[in-house]
A = this chain, B = another copy of it.
């Protein structure tokens, strides 16, 4: 395997599994210019009746063969029942070497490990949260997995790097034409945007629904004009795991302090008072608290955001309903209040990775966000961030929207200085998900480090009471508490590629040699 050092000094292969790879070359590298993938031209006369009453009939109709690439979305999260169901059927049919291209996998998909071991699945192009990632770390896949961000996945499909033969789209609400959304029904999940690229570019598109409604199903997050078959099933999964009844803010004093620091930073830097204020925060413990603290500060200063970006939760919905933001731009809803608001409030807008995150567009929303608050498993002295592996080397997380959301005006990483006596601020991250160039601030409970590239931010904050420190100082504080951590041992084999959002390779994940 030939390797080359990329722009941040990580060795990456130039070719793998017959695919030519480009090394990461910096944030403003231009990988554009080629032609997008062009789907085949269909004719409407062949699509008069798309309705099928079983998954088996759809599998028959799609003529799935060994080696094909199948895709799924992850809007049903840990409540998804479809991936396991379809893949089991394909395994039972004796299919081999399938490429599985989900937008993400969750612990509920642990059963796929068997299909990887048996050769039904050759490898995964997509996010792996939990057990399947663990299997990847152990080298169980025949070929190299590929990790992409939400925007990067859209890009890869649009650009033809990831060709999907058959897309199975779990649809909480759909009509017989294939128009579909995620807003109503027993499996309601909110937006359905992670499946958009699949619907536009896959050869065959199968809508699978447990809630068939009369035409027209509206909004049509997925448009029937792209859909080959509509299949009805009894249930798409476990509603209790698809969406939280309600999300709750952390009670951890450490995490609350980190969120408070982050909110104070946004205020004291003056960013809060600049025109067109907006922010993005997710549904993690710190993020929810950050949303709440920002709300309080905005209310006190009579600030109305132009928009906030979710994953939406009831805390964001409260902002919208209390007039603290004009819009929620929502890629996925994390609780029932998020889904209700998206369904009812015309200022709560469903987005998809094309409009939000895709770097290979004529602009996307990510760069319009003023402040983005993101988590990490590690961050290092160069501000490089890892969200995929842990310090012990296990691949346990997808990229999510990290690389895309890091395009915000100010990208803030919030993280405790250590977790389970393992430091989060390290000398060198195990895996680089995003380059330091894209990261502006680290906020920990022990202090705040501002990227030296952002002298402007340091200048704005130097008279504040915020505990500004260098990354080196934070690293030393961490080490003083944890001692020097053991490094994991890796074999030579690359088990996963980490793509930057433009399709270049920013790092690799190597096979782990387990400790015992």
Contacts and interface: CB of A to CB of B under 8 A. Distances in A.
Interface of A: 27-28, 30-48, 50, 158-159, 177-178, 205, 214-216, 218, 220, 223-228, 276, 306-307, 326-327, 329, 346-347, 349, 354-355, 358-365, 367-368, 407, 502
6 contacts: A32-B40, A36-B40, A41-B360, A43-B360, A214-B276, A225-B358
B306 A215 contact: yes
Contacts of A327: 216, 218
Given A48-B367, A215-B368, A346-B346, A362 B35 contact: no
Contacts of A205: 362
A262 to B, nearest CB: 24
Given A223-B355, A346-B346, A368-B177, A360 B216 contact: no
A33 B46 CA distance: 12
B44 A359 contact: yes
B216 A307 contact: yes
Nearest to A306: B214
A141 to B, nearest CB: 29
Given A30-B45, A32-B43, A216 B363 contact: no
A178 B218 contact: no
B50 A363 contact: yes
A35 B39 contact: yes
Contacts of A32: 40-43, 46
A39 B37 CA distance: 8
Contacts of A47: 361-363
Nearest to A275: B214
A225 B355 contact: yes
A46 B361 CA distance: 10
Given A37-B38, A354-B223, A44 B362 contact: yes
Contacts of A360: 41-44
A39 B46 CA distance: 26
Contacts of A46: 30, 32, 362
Nearest to A49: B363
Q: Which residue among A177, A227, A327, A363 has the maximum number of chain B CB atoms within 10 Å of its CB? A: A363
A159 B35 contact: no
Nearest to A160: B38
A276 B215 contact: yes
B40 A33 contact: yes
A515 B17 CA distance: 72
B48 A30 contact: no
Contacts of A48: 363, 367
B35 A36 contact: no
A454 to B, nearest CB: 18
A44 B329 contact: no
A34 B347 CA distance: 40
A363 B44 contact: yes
B349 A218 contact: yes
B34 A225 contact: no
**Ranked 4 nearest A-B pairs via Cβ:** A38-B38, A225-B361, A32-B43, A47-B363
A35 B41 CA distance: 6
Nearest to A351: B216
Contacts of A28: 45
A42 B327 CA distance: 27
A349 B216 contact: yes
A362 B41 contact: no
B363 A177 contact: yes
A305 to B, nearest CB: 11
B41 A38 contact: no
Contacts of A347: 218
A215 B159 CA distance: 27
Q: Which residue among A50, A205, A359 has the maximum number of chain B CB atoms within 10 Å of its CB? A: A359
